[in-house]
Amino acid sequence: MTRLPLLLSLLFASAAMAEGTLKNIQISAQRAEAIGQRIWQNEGLGKVENLTVWNRGEDFPSLGIGHFIWYPPGVNGPFTESFPQLLHYLRKTTPLPAWLSSQTDAPWRSRDEFYADIDSPRMVELSTLLQRTIPQQTQFIIKRLHASLPAMLATLQNEEEKRQVANRFYQVANSPGGLYALIDYVNFKGEGISPGERYKGEGWGLLQVLKNMRPDTGETMAEFIRCADLVLTRRVDNAPRDESRWLNGWRKRLGTYAPH
């Protein structure tokens, strides 16, 4: 299988880096495809109709295998808006429908409006685009992980804390199932560096998971899952509105990170 080193080549500033050591993680095309399919299963049960959804209780549609967020006009939510970033990525290799090329905000202002439009020509074009670009969407998700570690470390002031976070990142990445867990969690709940993604000052992204991990437990993935559960439970406890309905599904998703 051909290797795709540009998909995932992760650098970090740690004691090893200070000595000039470069750490790279490479992922094969076959493994990338499998990870993309697992993310699609997590987000949309692997169903084509779930590539274009608007969940009840949310202010935005969720699109593609990663349920990328696209805000309607005038909506400035707390979560990172990832669908416009995906479109920018796709433009490099894929022709976009004319209406989508010129669209900045989601063209639907409500969930009802979204589903009233579900069989329209433009929605069919959108669904078709998302179906035929699953490999590109997977690469987009993986590239987000590529950038996540330097971005997380840039928010930390303490050199020892940077070293700990970097070491835990690579400890997870080198564990069975760990690379999938990192890629999925960043797509699922973000890096944890956006000031807007906080409830009562507490984030729930990958950075928060890594910072809470205990060293040398001998059970890296079990510890990663425990800490992810901790920060997601804390998010629900701190949320300004009831998010408890999501927690069981989130925990089921974390269960897929356990080695099989």
Listed by start position, the domains of the chain span 3-255
Q: What is the mean pLDDT of the chain?
A: 88
**Where would I find the H helices in the chain?**
15-18, 29-44, 83-90, 98-101, 111-116, 121-132, 134-154, 159-173, 178-189, 206-212, 220-238, 244-255
Comparing CA positions, the residue from 62, 65, 48 lying closest to residue 134 is 65
Q: Is the pLDDT of residue 15 over 80?
A: no
Asked if residues 117 and 41 have their Cβ atoms less than 8 Å apart, the reply is no
Residue 120, exposed/middle/buried by CB under 10 A (0-12, 13-18, 19+)? exposed
Q: What is the mean pLDDT of residues 8-34?
A: 54
- Six-digit token pair at 51? 């590539």
Give the contacts of 8 (CB within 8 A, at least 6 positions apart). 25, 26, 27, 142, 145, 146, 179
Asked if residues 204 and 79 have their Cβ atoms less than 8 Å apart, the reply is no
Percent of the chain at pLDDT > 90 equals 74
pTM score: 0.81
Q: Is the pLDDT of residue 94 over 90?
A: yes
What would the DSSP string read from start to end of 111-170?
HHHHHHTTTSHHHHHHHHHHHHTHHHHHHHHHHHHHHHHHHHHHT---HHHHHHHHHHHH
Give the contacts of 249 (CB within 8 A, at least 6 positions apart). none
Asked if residues 182 and 220 have their Cβ atoms less than 8 Å apart, the reply is no
Q: Is the pLDDT of residue 22 over 80?
A: no
Q: Is the pLDDT of residue 9 over 80?
A: no
Percent of the chain at pLDDT > 70 equals 90
Q: What is the mean pLDDT of residues 187-210?
A: 94
Q: Is the pLDDT of residue 244 over 90?
A: yes
Please write the tens of the pLDDT for every residue from 122-169: 999 999 999 999 999 999 998 888 889 999 999 999 999 999 999 999
Q: What is the mean pLDDT of residues 9-30?
A: 48
Reported as a pLDDT band with limits 50, 70 and 90, residue 24 is low
Angle of the 134-154 helix axis to the 121-132 helix axis, nearest 10: 70
